[in-house]
Structure 1
Amino acid sequence: MAEHKPAPKLVFADDDGNIYDHPELEMLVRRGDRLEPPRPDEIIPLPPESELFLLPGRDALGFDPESGEIERLEDRAVAAFVCPGHTLSATAAYATKPGAPVLPRFAYGAVGFSGDRFVVAAAKVDEDKRQVFTGIPRERIVKGARALRAKYPKNRLIEHLMGCALTSCCPAARNLALGRYEAPLPTSRACNARCVGCLSLQDPSSGFPATQNRITFRPAAQEIVEVMAEHGRREKRPVYSFGQGCEGEPLTEIRVIAEAVARFRQNGGTGTVNVNSNASLPEAVEAFAAAGGDSIRVSLSSAEAALYEAYYRPQGYGFGDVVQSLARARAAGLFISLNFLFFPGVSDTEAELAALTDLITAHRVDFVQLRNLNLDPELYLSVARGSGALADPARHASMGLRNFRKRLRKACPWLRFGYFNPDVAEAPPTAD
């Protein structure tokens, strides 16, 4: 007989930032519009390198097991931002006060306290350690950045990325300074979408700032090639990725990207050349493959056109162009990943599962990166409602991240799951 574990307790904070666990009330989570206790199989210890956030203008909500009622405290709600490699299965439960500010661009996981530690509703979806910096002293990153700047004093792209590494603490840029894993190659100053949750450009009326500064110049092909060649000398299984948080849509700069990739390959460059893209330009996808690209990661908030377009707000293209790009990527032999921006209660529904399964099957998608949709939960729900998609009864119940992944895997048995861009020569096994 299985041992019954006590339910995790509600976590809340006072105005001074002190965090407490409630002696009686239990943890509550949100999935879409629904508030409910967490499922026992979705609770894991808060992973190392995660962070706890105090939510301004939001009161904590807990579950009273004796009355079966939801209780509202006059204390501050707390949420968890889980470290990379983990996907949330539920967001934080709270009550928003009138006039509360829009939350900054993070994912707000439901957090509780059990035994002697914080717990969170999430799952580990990738074993890759590429964004774990525990035990790496900052001095080593600084040394690496200085060495790259000294070796390539006229390379503007290296100067930009080393600024990202040392000032913004960008994980990808820090890895470049360390000469390991995946090299970022930002190229684009512009974008043909106006994503509600854009990392690098926000309208002042959005209520929250961009979390990264967008690149202000177009790198020359030679600057890009120098970064790729240098990284390839230091990393045995390099991945090179266009399409970073500090830029717009990389395929809008396909001319310089294609030139750089072709020159890199002509010079004997090896490794996985990837583009993180909104897949809005099918012809550019073909040009990328023809130049020597290996892999494309297509960003999706939904496989349903109305919900997708409500979040991405495309300019001059539509969801049909994304589908066409997937078809051309498959015809060109590219490794295809979906960067599926997961939002509990909207993504893990019957309607989304059906649409995503159809898309993956039609284009034989290789890999799904289950990443968190980083946005104020109430803001995203308002976007979803505005699309009309939530009127579908098949979006009214959440099956949970675990069941969603299990059923998608059953429907598409060749599919692999993860969080990071894999080396196409050896995509990592799926984490259970």
Structure 2
Amino acid sequence: MNLVYADEQGNVFDHPDYIGLGRSADMVVELMEDELIPLPHGATLVGLPFTRPAALDPDSGEMLLLPGNVQAVGALLPQGFTRLCLPGYIKTDKNEKLPLFGYTAVVWKDGGFYVAAEQSDSPDKWDPLNCDRGEVERGVERLTSKYPDNRLFKHLSNCALGYECLTSSNTFLQRWEGAVPVSYSCNAGCFGCISEQPDDSGFPAPQTRMDFKPTVEEITEIMLEHLRTPESIISFGQGCEGEPSTQAKIIVESMRQVRSQNPLGYININTNAGLTDHIRAIVDAGLNLMRVSTISALDDHYNAYYKPRGYTLANVEKSLRYATDKGVYTSINYLIFPGVTDREEEIEAMIGFAKRTGLKLIQMRNLNIDPESYLELIPKAQGEIYGMKQMLEIYRQELPDVVIGSYTHIPPSQLAK
């Protein structure tokens, strides 16, 4: 498995004399054959600025840094693939931060690129090639013309056309899971927030957060347009907004108005679930699905990343338990990182958390972050590091009733409700 690297112009090469390596947290590690799969369709290769590629010399057995004006290369995986290792590199300038992406180890093997990853779901619905950009443009034109005063449709048109966000694109294609953002504020200060960063963070947010409070009418127009089939999903809580439950009052009123007119489809919320009273009100208004973002079931790790304001991880657990008990299909967006998520203490805590809350689904999401900044922020490892592949196997064994995947699938029992 040859080392893959890039020159200053971004041209990618493989090195015939050196073996490519990966990283687990801050440790450079050898890649195992059973960790590698062919580069998935839809993946992107990127150079990692201010880095030097780490390699193994097979003749001497020594690890080395590739000399010259070169940089390490990582793969950005499409939805449905869980990374098992970071790229093998060392930073040349520790003050520089990598852009907020989820970098995966990549090597050249058997005449093609391979990555350290495992397919955890079918990627079809979230494959950009299955999203016709011309159809999206026509959908934007049709719905913004039909609702010229609806600021949400206008806001989402930029998400769909500018960022090519697939969830907002679905809103205009009127299929699958669509977006209805509602909140410009948040009750957490996530270190890796993709829509808002402090000026001194060192890395800009890749998306722009919405800057207005929508009306109940604007929200209901989007929901009624999207909930056209029994399988449709409309989701509060998108990357372009803050915490949706901070706007519980307008969410509840919108849900009630929609359900008085239309029983079709599913209403979902993507949330940190910290505002338990607000979550209870939203659940009681007829919520079908709840997807909770978390990075850990350990307080010190959770607090270091999320910087919660006015809530604790115990509130998150109460919210999930309440929703599960009320028949909501509950899942977590689990932000994962090789060398951290696969720590012994993290695995044990998450298994207990899943059992106590009655989770139905764990969605593995590769954390988009500068690795060094994240590792400086969080607690050090306390126990053994199992490796991401073994971690996934442990979850499948210990949580046989919990689906381990990448995104929401509506089970037959929910469709029949």
TM-score interval, smaller chain: over 0.9
| 1:264 is aligned to 2:258 | yes
**TM-aligned CA deviation for residue 21 of structure 1:** 0.2
Which of 23, 29, 32 lines up with 2:22 in the alignment? 29
Which of 413, 419, 432 lines up with 2:400 in the alignment? 413
TM-score (norm 1): 0.92
| 1:101 is aligned to 2:88 | no
**TM-aligned CA deviation for residue 163 of structure 1:** 1.6
Partner amino acid, structure 1, of 2:99: P
1:272 touches 1:424 (CA, 8 Å); kept in 2?
no
| 1:18 is aligned to 2:11 | yes
Structure 2 SS opposite 1:134: helix
Structure 1 SS opposite 2:56: strand
Question: Equivalents in 1 of 2:90, 2:234: separation in Å?
Answer: 43
| 1:342 is aligned to 2:349 | no
Partner amino acid, structure 1, of 2:261: N
**TM-aligned CA deviation for residue 33 of structure 1:** 2.2
Which of 132, 135, 139 lines up with 2:134 in the alignment? 139
| 1:111 is aligned to 2:98 | no
1:304 touches 1:352 (CA, 8 Å); kept in 2?
yes
**TM-aligned CA deviation for residue 100 of structure 1:** 5.0
Distance 1:152 1:426, change over 3 A: farther
2:51 touches 2:93 (CA, 8 Å); kept in 1?
no
**TM-aligned CA deviation for residue 285 of structure 1:** 1.4
**TM-aligned CA deviation for residue 83 of structure 1:** 0.8
Which of 372, 375, 400 lines up with 1:378 in the alignment? 372
Partner amino acid, structure 1, of 2:391: F
Partner amino acid, structure 1, of 2:149: K
2:197 touches 2:205 (CA, 8 Å); kept in 1?
yes
1:108 touches 1:377 (CA, 8 Å); kept in 2?
no
Structure 2 SS opposite 1:36: strand
Superposed CA deviations along residues 301-354 of structure 1, whole A, max 9, x for unmatched, are 111110011000111112221122122222322211011111011101211110
Question: Equivalents in 2 of 1:295, 1:136: separation in Å?
Answer: 24
**TM-aligned CA deviation for residue 202 of structure 1:** 0.3
Partner amino acid, structure 1, of 2:61: G
TM-score (norm 2): 0.96
Which structure 1 segments of 5+ residues have no match?
1-7
Structure 1 residues 176-195: aligned runs within 5 Å:
176-195=171-190
| 1:282 is aligned to 2:276 | yes
Partner amino acid, structure 2, of 1:63: L
Distance 1:84 1:135, change over 3 A: closer
Question: Equivalents in 1 of 2:260, 2:79: separation in Å?
Answer: 35
1:257 touches 1:288 (CA, 8 Å); kept in 2?
yes
Question: Equivalents in 1 of 2:413, 2:168: separation in Å?
Answer: 23
**TM-aligned CA deviation for residue 18 of structure 1:** 1.0
2:224 touches 2:262 (CA, 8 Å); kept in 1?
no
Question: Equivalents in 2 of 1:287, 1:155: separation in Å?
Answer: 26
Which structure 2 segments of 5+ residues have no match?
none
Partner amino acid, structure 2, of 1:411: E
Question: Equivalents in 2 of 1:401, 1:427: separation in Å?
Answer: 31
1:294 touches 1:424 (CA, 8 Å); kept in 2?
no
Question: Equivalents in 2 of 1:136, 1:243: separation in Å?
Answer: 21
Partner amino acid, structure 2, of 1:316: G
| Count of matched residue positions in the alignment of Structure 1 and Structure 2 | 413
**TM-aligned CA deviation for residue 425 of structure 1:** 4.5
Which of 149, 152, 163 lines up with 2:147 in the alignment? 152
Which of 72, 81, 90 lines up with 1:86 in the alignment? 81
Structure 1 SS opposite 2:268: strand
Question: Equivalents in 2 of 1:348, 1:58: separation in Å?
Answer: 25
Structure 1 SS opposite 2:231: coil
Distance 1:38 1:427, change over 3 A: farther
| 1:228 is aligned to 2:215 | no
The answer to which of 217-226 and 206-215 deviates more is 217-226
**TM-aligned CA deviation for residue 427 of structure 1:** 7.6
Structure 2 SS opposite 1:175: helix
Question: Equivalents in 2 of 1:27, 1:298: separation in Å?
Answer: 36
Name 2:61's counterpart in structure 1. 68
Distance 1:426 1:80, change over 3 A: farther
